[in-house]
Amino acid sequence: MKTRGMLALLTIVALVATVTGANPRDGAWASPFSVIAFNPDVCSLTIAPKVGPREADRICLRGARGAGIQDPDNLAAVAEALGGAVGDPSTYRGLVDASAAQLGADGFLGASGQTLWVLVFVTNDLPLTFTTQQGVWFHADAAAEQCTYRDEDCDGDGVAGDGVVTDLLWSGRSGIPNRGVSQVTVEQGSAQEVMNYVVVGPPVALVISWSGLIQEESGSSCSNLADFAELIEKPDVSGLLAVVTDEDGTRLTGIRASWRSSVPYAVELGADTTVSVAGTIADAALNLGCGKNVGTSKVTATVHLGKGMTDSGEVTVIPGPDRILLNAGPPRLVCDGAANSLVSAVVRNDEGDVLEHNAVRFEVVGPGGVEPAVAKTDAGGYAATRLTPTSGTTGSVVVRAIVERASPDAGHPPTIEESIGVDCQPPPLPPVQSPKPPSLIQAPETGDAGLLP
Its domain, for residue 236, covers 205-318
Name the residue among 234, 436, 417, 192 with its Cα closest to residue 322.
Answer: 417
**Same domain as 238, residue 94:** no
First to last CA, the chain: 116
Please report the pLDDT score of residue 453 as a whole number.
56
Please report the pLDDT score of residue 206 as a whole number.
93
Query: Which of 269, 289, 318 delimits the end of a domain?
Result: 318
Which residues fall within 8 angstroms of residue 332, CB to CB, at 6 or more apart?
A: 422, 423, 424, 425
Identify whether 298 is part of a domain: yes
Contact 131, 172 (CB under 8 A): no
Identify whether 431 is part of a domain: no
Contact 105, 138 (CB under 8 A): no
**Same domain as 96, residue 161:** yes
Query: Which of 254, 285, 318 delimits the end of a domain?
Result: 318
Identify whether 372 is part of a domain: yes
**Same domain as 183, residue 70:** yes
Please report, for the domain that includes residue 259, its CATH number.
Answer: 2.60.40.1080
Q: Is 239 helix (H, G, I), strand (E, B) or coil?
A: strand
**Same domain as 133, residue 118:** yes
Please report the pLDDT score of residue 113 as a whole number.
55
**Same domain as 160, residue 50:** yes
Alpha-carbon gap, residue 235 to 354, rounded angstroms: 12
Name the residue among 400, 399, 348 with its Cα closest to residue 377.
Answer: 348
Please report the pLDDT score of residue 189 as a whole number.
80
**Same domain as 352, residue 262:** no
Neighbours of 145 (CB within 10 A): 22
Report strand pairing: 323-329 vs 395-404.
unpaired
Alpha-carbon gap, residue 39 to 185, rounded angstroms: 17
**Same domain as 80, residue 160:** yes
Alpha-carbon gap, residue 274 to 254, rounded angstroms: 9
What distance separates the 2 farthest-apart alpha carbons in the chain? 144
Alpha-carbon gap, residue 190 to 30, rounded angstroms: 11
Number of domains into which the chain is organized: 3
Alpha-carbon gap, residue 201 to 171, rounded angstroms: 11
Which residues fall within 8 angstroms of residue 96, CB to CB, at 6 or more apart?
A: 16, 19, 36, 37, 38, 42, 46, 82, 278
Identify whether 10 is part of a domain: no
Please report the pLDDT score of residue 149 as a whole number.
35
Identify whether 442 is part of a domain: no
**Same domain as 60, residue 32:** yes
Query: Which of 200, 226, 255 delimits the end of a domain?
Result: 200
Alpha-carbon gap, residue 300 to 311, rounded angstroms: 6
Identify whether 6 is part of a domain: no
Alpha-carbon gap, residue 217 to 223, rounded angstroms: 14
**Same domain as 73, residue 193:** yes
Number of H helices, E strands in the chain: 4, 28
**Same domain as 399, residue 272:** no
Q: Which residues pair with 342 in a beta bridge?
A: 329, 386
Alpha-carbon gap, residue 327 to 399, rounded angstroms: 10
**Same domain as 334, residue 300:** no
**Same domain as 294, residue 167:** no
Q: Is the pTM above the cut of 0.95?
A: no
Identify whether 275 is part of a domain: yes
Please report, for the domain that includes residue 339, its CATH number.
Answer: 2.60.40.10
Q: Which residues of the chain have a pLDDT value below 70?
A: 1-31, 61-73, 76, 86, 99, 106-114, 125, 139-162, 218, 406-412, 429, 437-453
Burial group, residue 388, by CB count within 10 angstroms (0-12, 13-18, 19+): buried
Identify whether 176 is part of a domain: yes
Kindly tell me the sign of the dihedral angle through the C-alpha atoms of 349, 352, 353, 358: positive
